[in-house]
Amino acid sequence: MKGGQASLGRSLHQAGWRHSKLGKAEEELLWFERAAEEIGKGDIHGRVDHTELGKTFHQLGWCYWNLGKFVLALFWSERAVAATEKGDIDGRMDEESLQISRDAVKECLKKLGRL
């Protein structure tokens, strides 16, 4: 996805990632939330790269996990799985990202005593 919302979404995702490296979880959340919103708008043709969206959802889940908010971590991790299963603009699925998000769901369920 080139230009427009997609490019802005990737930039916001990178800003979130940088904040995660600084240990600023609250700020990190804001950047990833903005990234998800922009990526979800798609490119100029409205096509959404669900793989990229899934990665951003995964990062939101990770943020909430680190804050000890496991219900929210589960919510975002499940959304990451659902998005990643849809694939990128061309329908190609990133199996590695999908497995990482599925593992995150499993860990959240364990933490919540549901597994």
Give the CATH number, domain containing residue 75.
1.25.40.10
**Cβ contact 46:89 at 8 Å:** no
The parent domain of residue 15 ranges over 4-111
DSSP-assigned letters across all residues of 38-59: HHHH-STT----HHHHHHHHHH
Number of domains into which the chain is organized = 1
Per-residue pLDDT tens for 1-57? 445 556 788 788 787 877 777 777 888 999 999 999 999 999 889 999 999 999 999
Q: Measured between alpha carbons, how far is 113 from 115 in angstroms, rounded to an integer? A: 6
Q: Which conformational region is residue 87 in: left (phi greater than 0), alpha (psi within -120 to 50 degrees), or beta?
A: left
pTM attached to this predicted model: 0.89
Per-residue pLDDT tens for 6-16? 678 878 878 78
